[in-house]
Amino acid sequence: MELLSYVIRKLIGGIPLILGVTLISFVLMVYFGPDKTFELLSKNPTEAEIAQVRAQLGYDRPFLVRYAEYLKEMATLDFGFSDSTGERVSSILSRTIPVSLALLAPGFVLGNLLGIVLGLVAAWYRGGWVDKLIMGGAVVGMSISFLVVIVAFQALFGVVLGWFPVRGWNVHDLPSYAYYVTVPTLASVFVALGYNTRFFRAVLVEEINRDHVRTARAFGARPAEILFRNVLMNAMIPIVTRILFSIPLIVVSGSLLIESYFGIPGIGKVTFDAITSGDQPILKAVVGLTAVLFVLILIVTDILYRVVDPRVSLTGDAR
């Protein structure tokens, strides 16, 4: 009951955020956004045809009407049909989101797990050569552009070694999944690892300096025990925050690059195509749903806070 009232309160609190996101993205992407009209026209259009297409796309209606329409779509989660293909937006999303999740999940999980492990190791040996090695590696990883990594990995694994496909997504069982997901996963882990390790190390070092860690040592706790119970468990709030908040970014921005470069029909590629073709219903859906995802993640984060830290209360302000 406490949880429910909390979630309701947070959902209500998320409304301004969603309104803000929809308003900004509406103004930028829809109102001033790309004009689809001229892509839908025939080779020899007339003014009348142009007016007709604009009317069909709804471009001729006033700002407020169109924005209200968008809000209505958000409320009903029905974004109509793609302006390009005519496919129902909901069916596009339900077709592509699972692909993106399957594509991104291994890299996301590995990137964070490895980051935490490396962060723990570096934090424990901080100042020593192990730490310097790991952090040096992290800086190198952080300094390479994602694009460069993708191109290099494709060339290496796809062309030079020929172990994995350069692109595509023809997944129907576990081996084919592994076959297609490996290179994108390696690329995303490679890129994320530097940032993750660095962040986790900083958080863990902060925690390692706390009094209770000294207490644990004074009572003879083993390093593994200290690292897990005192350091990791107490650093969960920033860790959970970072991991959860990276989800919406990865789902849209991360998948956008990977998918358009690996030619994988996920939500990122659809979004990218929607940008370059001005497919507003899809853009509206993606942006709107990302905002909703953000709000949901805000809620999940707060609930997880309470799970990982008994001091956090959902009702009061006491933190």
Partner 1 sequence: MTRINQPHPVLRVDNLCVEFATTAGQIRAVDQLSFSVEAGQTLGIVGESGCGKSVTSLAIMGLLPKPAGRIVDGSVLLDGQELTRLPEGRLRQLRGAELSMIFQEPMTALNPVYSIARQMTAVLKRHQQLSARQARHRAIEMLARVGIPRPDQRIDDYPHQLSGGMRQRVMIAMALSCQPKLLIADEPTTALDVTTQAQVLRQMVDLQQELGTAVILITHDLGVIAETCDQAVVMYCGSKVEQAPVADLFLQPRHPYTAGLMQSIPRIREHKLDRLPVIEGQVPNLAALPPGCRFAGRCPNREDRCVQQQPPLTERGAQQFACFNPWNGPVES
Partner 2 sequence: MSDPGIILPAPEPAAARLRPERTSLWGRALDQFRRDHAAITGLAIVAVFFLMAVGVWFGWWGTQWSQALGGRWEGPSGGHWLGTNLLGQDIFQRAVYSTRTAFEIGLIVAILSTLLGGLLGALSGFYSSRWIDSVLLWLMGTLDSIPFYLFVAAVAVAMAGNPWAMHIAMVATFWTTTARLVRGEVIKLKNLEFVEAAHAIGLGQFRIIFRHLLPNTFHILLVQGTIVFVSAIKAEVILSFLGLGVQDGVSWGLMIAESTQEVLAGQYMNFIVASSFMFVLVMAFNLFSDGLQDALDPRRAPR
Partner 3 sequence: MIMGMLLLAACSEPPSDDNRDVYRHSEDEAPASLDPAQASTVYSNMVVVNVFDTLYRYKYLARPYELAPNLAAGFPDVSDDGLTYTFRIRSGVEFTDDPAFPDGTGREVTAHDLVYSIQRHFDPGVRSQGAWLWSGRIVGLDEWGQNGADYAAPIEGLKALDDHTLQIQLTAPYPQLVYTLAAGFSALVPKEAVEFYGREFSVKPVGSGPFKLTSFNSALATFDRNPKFDRGVLNLADEGYRDDLHGTYGLQALDGQAYPFVDGLEIHFIDENASRWNSFISGEVHNVMVPNEQIDRVLTSKDPIELNDDMAERFHKHSGIEAGFVYGGFNMADERFGHHPDPDQDAANRALRCAIRDAFDWQARNETFYFGLGNVFPGVIVPLVPEFDADLSRRSVQHNLQSANQALDEYGWRDQLPSMSYGMPSSVQQRQMFEQFRAQVQEIGFSTDQFSPESFATFGDFSRAIKNRELDLFFLGWSLDYPDAQNTLQLFYGPNETPGSNNFNYNNPAFDALYEQTLTLQPGQQRTALYRQMNQLVIDDCVVISGLSRTRVHLWDKQVRMLPDREILGGFFMRFVDIGNESETAAMSN
* Binding site residues, partner 2, CB under 8 A: 16-17, 20-21, 24-25, 27-29, 32-34, 124-128, 130, 139-140, 142-148, 151, 154-155, 159, 208-209, 211, 213-214, 217, 226, 248-249, 252-253, 256-257, 260, 271-272, 275-276, 278, 283, 286-287, 290-291, 294
- What part of residues 217-236 is at the interface with partner 1 (CB under 8 A)? 217-222, 225, 229-230, 233-234, 236
> Rule CB under 8 A: which residues touch partner 3?
34-47, 49-50, 52-53, 56, 81, 84-88, 91, 95-96, 98-99, 101-103, 105-106, 109, 154, 158-159, 162, 165-174, 177, 179, 260-265, 269-270, 273, 275-278
Q: Residue 317 interacts with partner 1 (CB under 8 A)?
A: no
- The partner in contact with residue 229, picked from partner 1, partner 3, partner 2, none with C-beta cut-offs of 5 to 8 angstroms by kind, is partner 1
Q: Residue 316 interacts with partner 1 (CB under 8 A)?
A: no
Residue of 55, 212, 224, 276 interacting with partner 1 (CB under 8 A): 212
Distance CA 255, CA 262 (A): 10
Distance CA 124, CA 133 (A): 13
- The partner in contact with residue 25, picked from partner 2, partner 1, partner 3, none with C-beta cut-offs of 5 to 8 angstroms by kind, is partner 2
Q: Residue 9 interacts with partner 1 (CB under 8 A)?
A: no
- The partner in contact with residue 236, picked from partner 1, partner 2, partner 3, none with C-beta cut-offs of 5 to 8 angstroms by kind, is partner 1
- The partner in contact with residue 115, picked from partner 1, partner 2, partner 3, none with C-beta cut-offs of 5 to 8 angstroms by kind, is none
The site for partner 1 (CB under 8 A) is made up of 127, 210-212, 214-222, 225, 229-230, 233-234, 236, 308-311
